[in-house]
Amino acid sequence: MKSTAIANSNTAMIKYWGKYDEKLILPMNSNISMTVDSQNTTTTVEFSKELKEDAVLINGKEQDGKPRERVSRHLDLIRNIAKIDLKAKVMSENNFPTAVGLASSASGFAALTLAACSAAGLELDKKQLSIISRQGSGSSCRSIYGGYVEWMKSEKSEDSYAVQIADENHLDIRDIAVVISTRKRKIPTREGMRLSMSTSPLYNARLKVVDESLKKVREAIKNKDFTTIGKTAEADCLMMHAVAMTTDPALIYWEPKTLEVMEKVYQWRDEGLECYFTIDTGANMHIFCLPGSADEIVKRVKEIPGIMDVFVSKPGGEAKLINNHLF
Cβ neighbours of residue 61 closer than 8 Å, sequence gap 6 or more? none
pTM for this model (two decimals): 0.95
Q: Which amino acid is present at 142?
A: R
Domain spans, the chain: 2-169, 174-313
CA–CA dist 2, 285 (Å, integer) = 36
CA–CA dist 116, 78 (Å, integer) = 7
User: What fold does the segment set 2-169 form as a domain?
Assistant: Ribosomal Protein S5; domain 2 (3.30.230)
CA–CA dist 22, 261 (Å, integer) = 34
Which string of DSSP letters, residue by residue, matches 146-163? Answer: -SEEEEPP-SSGGG--EE
SS (H, E, C) 222-253: HCCCHHHHHHHHHHHHHHHHHHHHCCCCCCCC
β-sheet bridge partners, residue 276? 288
Q: For the chain, how big is the Rg over CA atoms in Å?
A: 19
19-21 vs 26-27, strand pairing mode: antiparallel
Which phi and psi angles does 177 have, rounded to 5°?
A: -85, 125
Do 2-169 and 174-313 agree at the fold level? no
Helices and strands (H and E) in the chain: how many:
8, 14
The CATH code of domain 174-313 reads 3.30.70.890
Q: How far is CA 242 from CA 45, 46, 190, 235, 321, in A?
A: 40, 43, 17, 11, 39
Ordered per-residue pLDDT tens for the chain, 327 residues: 999 999 999 999 999 999 999 999 999 999 999 999 999 999 999 999 999 999 999 999 999 999 999 999 999 999 999 999 999 999 999 987 665 556 689 999 999 999 999 999 999 999 999 999 999 999 999 999 999 999 999 999 999 999 999 999 999 999 999 999 888 778 888 899 999 999 999 999 999 999 999 999 999 999 999 999 999 999 999 999 999 999 999 999 999 999 999 999 999 999 999 999 999 988 999 999 999 999 999 999 999 999 999 999 999 999 999 999 999
